[in-house]
Amino acid sequence: MPTADRQPPTILAIETSCDETAAAVLRGEQELLSDVVASQAELHAEYGGVVPEIACRAHAEAVVPVVRQALRQAGVGLEGLDAVAVTRGPGLVGALLVGLSFAKALAWARGLPLVGVNHLEAHLAAAFLEHDLEFPFVGLVVSGGHTALYQSPRRGTYRLLGQTLDDAAGEAFDKVAKLLGLGYPGGVVVDRLARQGDPERFAFPRPMMGSGRLDFSFSGLKTAVRTHRERFLKGLTEQDLWDTCASFQEAVVDTLLAKARTALERTGAACLVVCGGVACNSRLRERAAELADRLGVRLVLPRPRLCTDNAAMVAAAGLHRFLQGHRSGPDLDAVPTWHLEDL
Ligand code: KG4
Ligand code: ZN
C-alpha cells in the first residue's frame, strides 16, 4: 500500500556501481530516513584498485543485508514504499547488474514503480538533499571515475562544458598515493598528509591551463610526480613526502578551480556545485569557498558523507525523476557508459 495521500512519497534507493554497496530511504525531497553504505575498500586495497569480479561478489553478498538495514533504520516496511530507485550507470557492468537485478525483483514482487538513475546525476542531486538551488548552476563532478563540468539550466538538464581527456582527478589522487606507497584508496591519505606540507615547495604542472578550454588532463601531472619520486630514489624524508602531497594536491585544486571559474564567468551562473568523492578534499573545499567569495557566487558543497558514493544521492535523483513521471520497465538494463548530457 502506498503511503497516505498527503504524505510525501517515500523511495528506497540502491547503489552498486563501483565498490560501495549502499541503500537509503528518502521521504520527500529532503527527509533522509536512512543512509547505509557498506564499503569494499579493504577488499580491493591489496590490489591497489577496484577488481570488478571481487566487487560483484561482494555486492551480491551485501545487497540484501544493506537494504534490510536501510529499511530498519528508516522505520519503514516494504509496504511503506512508493517507489524503488537504482543506479543504472555509468559504472562497472557486473557491479551495476547486482543492484539492478535486486531492485527489479523487489519492484516486481511488490508492484512498485522502478526508476533507473544516472550515477553522475545522483552526485549532483546530493546538493539538493540539503539545499534549494538556483538555476542555472555550474556543477563540477570530481570522482574516482569522472571529472567534468556541466551547466544545468533547470533540474534534470545538463550541458557538458568540459571533461577530463585522460585520468579522473580521484584516479590521479589514487595513483599518486600508490606511487608514494600510501595505500588505496589514497585520496584521503594525500589530503591528510598534505596538511603538514608546503604546497609551493615543488612546481608540478597545471595541465591544460591557459588553453581557454574547459577540459582537464591529469595524466601528465601523475607522470611528473613519478619522475619527481624517481629523483628521490634514496627515499623521501617525512617532510619531503608531506610537501610532495601538498604540492600535487595544489596543482589539482588549481586546475579544477581555474576551469570552474571560467565556466562560471562564461555561463554567468551564480551558483557552483562541487560534488563526487574528491569534493571531500579539504583544500578543494577551502579554496572553492574562497573563489566563490571572490566571485560573489553561491557555493554548494554536500557534506563529505554525501560526496563519496552513497544511495541517498540516488534517492534524491530518483525521487525527482519519479515525481516527473519517469518509470523504468522490467527490461531496465545496465549502461556502463552513460553521459549526463544524454538524459
Ligand atoms: O565518488 P566516489 O566515491 O566514487 C566514484 O564515483 O568514483 O569517489 C572516489 C574517489 C577516489 O578516487 C578517492 O581517492 C577520492 O574520491 N577521494 C578523495 C578524498 N576522499 C575521497 N580525493 C581527495 N581528497 C579526499 N579527501
Ligand atoms: Zn561516484
pLDDT digits 0-9 by tens, 272-331: 999 999 999 999 999 999 999 999 999 999 999 999 999 999 999 999 999 999 999 999
- The answer to whether residues 113 and 232 belong to one domain is no
For residue 250 and ligand 1, the question of a CB distance below 6 A is answered with no
Please check whether residues 117 and 197 belong to one and the same domain.
no
Sign of the dihedral through C-alpha 84, 85, 87, 88: positive
User: What is the average per-residue pLDDT within 223-231?
Assistant: 93
Q: What's the number of CA atoms in the CB half-sphere (13 Å) around residue 98? A: 28
Which pLDDT does position 2 carry in this prediction? 52
Q: How far apart are CA 141 and CA 279, in angstroms?
A: 8
Q: Provide the b/e sequence for 140-171 (b: ≥16 CB within 10 Å).
A: bbbbbbbbbbbbbeeeeebeebbbbebbbbbb
- Tell me what the pLDDT averaged over the chain comes to: 95
In a domain, 317, yes or no: yes
**Residue 208 is assigned to a structural domain of this protein:** yes
Ligand nearest to the CA of 276: 1
Both 324 and 209 in one domain: the answer is: no
Ligand 1: which residue has its CA nearest to atom 16?
277
Judge contact between 82 and 112, C-beta under 8 A. Answer: yes
Give yes or no: residues 165 and 115 share one domain.
no
Q: Is 167 in the pocket of ligand 1 (CB under 6 A)?
A: no
Does ligand 1 come within 6 angstroms of the Cβ of 174?
yes
Exposed / middle / buried, residue 304 (Cβ in 10 Å: 0-12, 13-18, 19+)? middle
Q: Do 240 and 313 fall within a single domain?
A: no
Task: Quickly state the pLDDT bin for 236 (edges 50, 70, 90).
Answer: confident
CA dihedral 157, 162, 165, 171 (to 10 degrees): -70
315 shares a domain with 293: no
Is 84 in the same domain as 199? no
Q: Are residues 67 and 140 in the same domain?
A: no
Asked if residue 77 is part of any domain, the answer here is: yes
Distance between CA atoms of residues 175 and 3, nearest Å = 47
pLDDT at 5: 59
280 shares its domain with 174: yes
Ligand nearest to the CA of 283: 1
Using the Cα atoms of residue 4, residue 5, residue 6 and residue 11 in order, give the sign of their dihedral: positive
In a domain, 4, yes or no: no
How far is Cα 185 from Cα 99, in angstroms, rounded to an integer?
A: 23
Say whether both 260 and 207 belong to one domain: yes
Under 8 Å between Cβ of 29 and 70: no
In this structure, the answer to whether residues 297 and 311 fall within a common structural domain is no
CATH of the domain at 324: 3.30.420.40
Both 197 and 112 in one domain: the answer is: no
The string of pLDDT tens digits covering residues 142-161 is: 999 999 999 999 999 999 99
Average pLDDT estimate for 102-124:
98
Q: How many CB atoms lie within 10 A of CB 111?
A: 7
Residue 297 counted as domain residue: yes
- Asked whether 145 lines ligand 1 (CB < 6 A), one says yes
pTM of the full structure: 0.96
The total number of structural domains that make up the chain:
2
Residue 156: domain span: 134-301
pLDDT at 235: 81
Does 44 reside within a domain? Answer: yes
Residue 293: inside a domain = yes
Cell reading at 60: 551480491
- Looking at the domain assignment, is residue 314 inside a domain? yes
Residue 136 beta carbon below 6 angstroms from any ligand 1 atom: no
